[in-house]
Chain A
Amino acid sequence: MKSFKNHFSLVIALLGILFSLQVFFIVDRAVLAYKENLAKHYSLVLVSQKTLVSEEILKLDKNFSELLELSPDSVIKELNSGFSQKNIELLKLTLPKFYKLKLRIYPSPKELADISQKLLKNSSIGKVETFSKTHDTTYKLLLLFKTVITVFAATLLIVTILLIFKELRIWQFKHSERMSIMGLFGAPVWLRSAVLFRLAIVDALIATLLSFLLFSYISTNDLVLAQFESIGIEVTLFNTIEDSLIMLGVSMVVSILLATFIVLGHKEEV
């Protein structure tokens, strides 16, 4: 019980930090995956008087991925019957050409405006349809989602850090006494602080292990996975090796830093 209480507060604080950090990662990955998903289903429509050479258009921007000519048949079908086959062939020649331009990324409204500008510089392109209205709404929703989650995680992070600063004084007081006594019997600084660093390292390991278990569970939980599936994206919620190493690194750095603060802040009483 005694040792449990010794570890509890730092472990909780570290868990808070690791949790909010992982949430940042997940949101970042989700937004990226969602953007890719949007990019896959999004394209511009170009209207041109002349036939466009695919290579030349794709050269204009590194994010252009594919230029497809749209068959005029569908357009003509709209005009419907009454035309002879010959007339239709003639009409096809005079009709402007329609192209579908696919992008590698899902552009921001500004990027979209730039792309339009670039395309319109080509004299044969008469019109660029960006479907900007629907595009804007989707993009803004995406940003809102990202902002909300980020604010949530940041708040958690701030609360945790405040908690740590409050606890730091208590830890400082608790460890100060033992370190002073050890000093009075001639213990060098490394020996006086050994207990503290051992505690810090053990707590970092415990916190890492707990958040590893937590996120391993979350990342295989059917309910959570169904949520992401319903938005139509596939996100790595928890990258077992990479993310665990980051967690371990972060919790080690934070707790060793705290221990160092305590050792440096320690003054021998007179």
Chain B
Amino acid sequence: MDKVIIADNLSLAYSNDETIINKVKFSIDSGSFVFITGASGSGKSTLLKSLYGALKPKEGSLIVGGVELKGVSSSKLNFLRKHVGIVFQDYKLVKEWTIEKNIMLPLIINGYEKSVTQNQVDSLLKHVRLKHQAGKYPLELSGGEQQRVAMARALAHNPILILADEPTGNLDDYSSQLIWNLLEGANSQLKTTVIVVTHHIPESMNIDYKHFHIEYGSIHEVI
């Protein structure tokens, strides 16, 4: 099976501070659904940041979608990011843009045609149940609604990999359920690899998944 992520002897640290992830080795199969758990401050977000190239490996090798992230050039990193969809815990929506424009962002970056873009955005808005809010600005929505917008944005360009950092962190049940359904759907229908950092693995998962746990700077699979 194809590997979408291969980490070998990987260490992560912020500037010259202490090592947060220490010489770990793991790989993730293409098309799998992965949960990452761990205590608060254990390095879950740090690992995720390294997967989209915001934090470069301090040591070892990290290959994502065939791109070696150690010493990666910015053009190669941009190329990789065009095929990744990220959901952040703090949403990271562009405040001065409407919901619609926010969802459009990956499509614009990937150079989609206008007509395709509009259709795709309309269908995504329906999926996240925000059709009626299309023209609003992020700060006019509730937290749950904002996270659904972020979810739609992460799905917009049919990425090969979705990375989500506590996407249901402090959301209402309705929004949480909607987000889990969308992540499952992307994985089962589009074969998108999904990696989710979370505190609780939802009980109602309908698909097979893998579970990694981070502790004391190392990662092990929970079976």
Taking CB atoms, residues of chain A closer than 8 Å to B86 are 184-185
| Interchain CB contact under 8 A, A186 and B82 | yes
A186 in contact with B95 given A191-B109, A270-B49 (CB within 8 Å): no
Q: Which of B88-140 contact A (CB under 8 A)?
A: 92-97, 105-106, 108-110
Question: Which of A177, A180, A182 sits near B105, CB closer than 8 Å?
Answer: A182
Tally of contact residues, B, Cβ under 8 A:
28
Q: Which residue on chain B has the smallest CB distance to residue A184?
A: B86
Indicate if B19 sits at the interface (CB-CB under 8 A).
no
Interface magnitude class on chain A:
10 to 19
**A177-B139 Cα distance, complex, nearest whole Å:** 15
- Expressed in whole angstroms, the Cα–Cα distance for A186 and B84 within the complex equals 9
A187 touches which one: B97, B109, B153 (CB < 8 A)? B109
Interface of A is mostly: helix
Q: A186-B109, A191-B109, A270-B49 are in contact. Are A181 and B92 (CB under 8 A)?
A: yes
Say whether, besides A191-B109, A270-B14, A270-B49, A184 and B54 are in contact (CB < 8 Å): yes
Query: Cβ of B55 < 8 Å from any Cβ of A?
Result: yes
Q: CB distance A182 to B109 under 8 Å?
A: yes
* B54→A268 contact, CB < 8 A: yes
Of B3-11, B32-40, B72-80, B195-203, the one with at least 4 CB within 8 A of chain A: B72-80
The yes or no answer to A2 lying at the interface (CB within 8 A) is yes
Cβ of A188 within 8 Å of any chain B Cβ, yes or no, is yes
Q: Does A178 count as interface, using CB distance less than 8 angstroms?
A: yes
Q: Which residue of A lies closest to B137 (CB)?
A: A2
Taking the closest CB of chain A, its distance from the CB of B49, in whole angstroms, is: 6
CA A180 – CA B49 in complex, angstroms?
13
Residues in chain B near residue A188, CB distance under 8 A: 75, 78
Of the residues A2, A177, A180, A186, contact of B80 by C-beta under 8 Å:
A186
Question: Given A6, A177, A181, A186, which contacts B78 in the complex, CB threshold below 8 Å?
Answer: A186
Closest beta carbon of chain B to A134's beta carbon, Å: 64
For the complex formed, measure the closest distance between the CB of A198 and the CB atoms of chain B, giving whole angstroms.
13
Residue in A closest to B105 when the chains form the complex, CB atoms = A185
Interface residues of A in 168-200 (CB under 8 A from B): 177-178, 180-189, 191
With contact pairs A186-B79, A186-B80 given, residues A2 and B96 touching in the complex (Cβ less than 8 Å): yes
**Extra contacts besides A182-B105, A186-B106, A187-B109 (6): CB < 8 Å:** A6-B96, A182-B94, A183-B81, A184-B54, A187-B78, A268-B54
Q: Which 6 A-B pairs have the closest CB atoms?
A: A186-B81, A186-B82, A186-B78, A187-B109, A178-B94, A185-B106
B residues sitting closer than 8 Å to A (CB atoms) are: 14, 49, 52, 54-55, 74-75, 77-84, 86, 92-97, 105-106, 108-110, 153
